[in-house]
Amino acid sequence: MRVDGFWLGLARLGRQGVDVWRLAQRAGGWAELRAGGAWLWRELGLDAVQRCVLDTAPHVDTFGVAVTADDAAYPSLLAGVPGAPPVLFVEGDLQALHTPGVAVVGTRNCTRYGASIAHDLGAGLAAGGVCVVSGLARGIDAAAHRGALSRGRTVAVLAHGLGHTAPANHVVLRQQILAAGGAMVTEWPDDMGPRPHLFPPRNRWIAGLAHCTVLVEAPVKSGAMHTVHATQELERPIHVVPGQVGNAACAGSNRVLRDEAFALLDVDVFVDDMCGSLRHRDGWLSALFAGATLDEVAKLRGGSVAELIDELQTMEALGRVVRLPGRRYASA
């Protein structure tokens, strides 16, 4: 699949701190932003170098699917995250990105107990129709993915392009995830290899794709802690599995539990509560977040489009939804 350079240019500007989603909103939409060209970009405040980046970024090819911010397939939960990538490269089933998700994260150097809990969480959530989101890393991530594989879908967010697998010995796990109807997701073109500085933003997108985050085990300095901090910034729930006192692998997660999180004390109770709450969200609201048009959502909800827009404006004022370019909405 060929990916237009315009989207790669937007992605580059986003990494430089430009709020490209706000640019599109001010322009009237993504199509308008593109069609406006250099004149509009200058009016929107982009300097000469930034306009050049947007105008000259090369096209790239991907063996997966490129999901751009103007596409209904773009996950609405992530669209509401500040700085979200304007283009995602996806291998696998796009529907996995629209299945209610829970992030399960933790340390690579986990205990057997932690791996067992992560596996049970993954299996229980997947059996209840919830998509497990994690990072394909060793330890807790892999255990959560493998647990989910036994019962349903799981999504792996990568810190590299689709042309790579890290760690390399997770090639089989990756194939199993895809075969089970899951997906690989990344903000990077296929040929980008793993780099240390790519992991913190990857951890942020894990949080962005999930309704809540479960931290199983993590030391004080851990990539999983980046996911926790991102979840806190998004004001989404954090659940922590209490760890062994004095074990360095649990020091960070226990600190989060002490400060501002829910204690996950029973896997079955948590799974039942989470699957029930996500499964029973208003159908029309779920359809809206999944990219349905306002006309389609109004039919599901009952009433006119004007009445729907009035309700959405109220929900936006209350901080329940975020309005996006192109008459789309995301969960706040």
Residue 86 to residue 232: CA distance in whole angstroms = 22
Nearest alpha-carbon partner for 159 in 118, 129, 203: 203
pLDDT of residue 140: 97
105: Cα within 13 Å, side-chain hemisphere: 35
- pLDDT range class, residue 260, cuts 50, 70, 90: confident
- 72: burial class by Cβ within 10 Å (0-12, 13-18, 19+)? middle
Neighbouring-strand partners of residue 133: 103, 155
Query: What are the tens digits of pLDDT across the range 211-227?
Result: 899 999 999 888 899 99
Query: What are the tens digits of pLDDT across the range 38-82?
Result: 999 999 999 999 999 999 999 999 999 999 999 888 988 898 889
Res 319 pLDDT > 70: no
- Ordered by where they begin, the domains of the chain are 2-89 (no CATH), 94-279 (3.40.50.450), 284-331 (1.10.10)
Query: Inter-axis angle of helices 294-301 and 305-317, to 10 degrees?
Result: 90
Cis peptide before 167 (omega within 30 of 0): yes
Query: What are the tens digits of pLDDT across the range 117-137?
Result: 999 999 999 999 899 999 999
- pLDDT range class, residue 305, cuts 50, 70, 90: confident
pTM above threshold 0.95: no
Nearest alpha-carbon partner for 252 in 262, 242, 237: 242
Burial 186-207 (b: 16+ CB within 10 A, else e): bbbbbebebeeebbebbbbbbb
- pLDDT range class, residue 261, cuts 50, 70, 90: confident
Nearest alpha-carbon partner for 86 in 331, 311, 326: 326
- pLDDT range class, residue 302, cuts 50, 70, 90: low
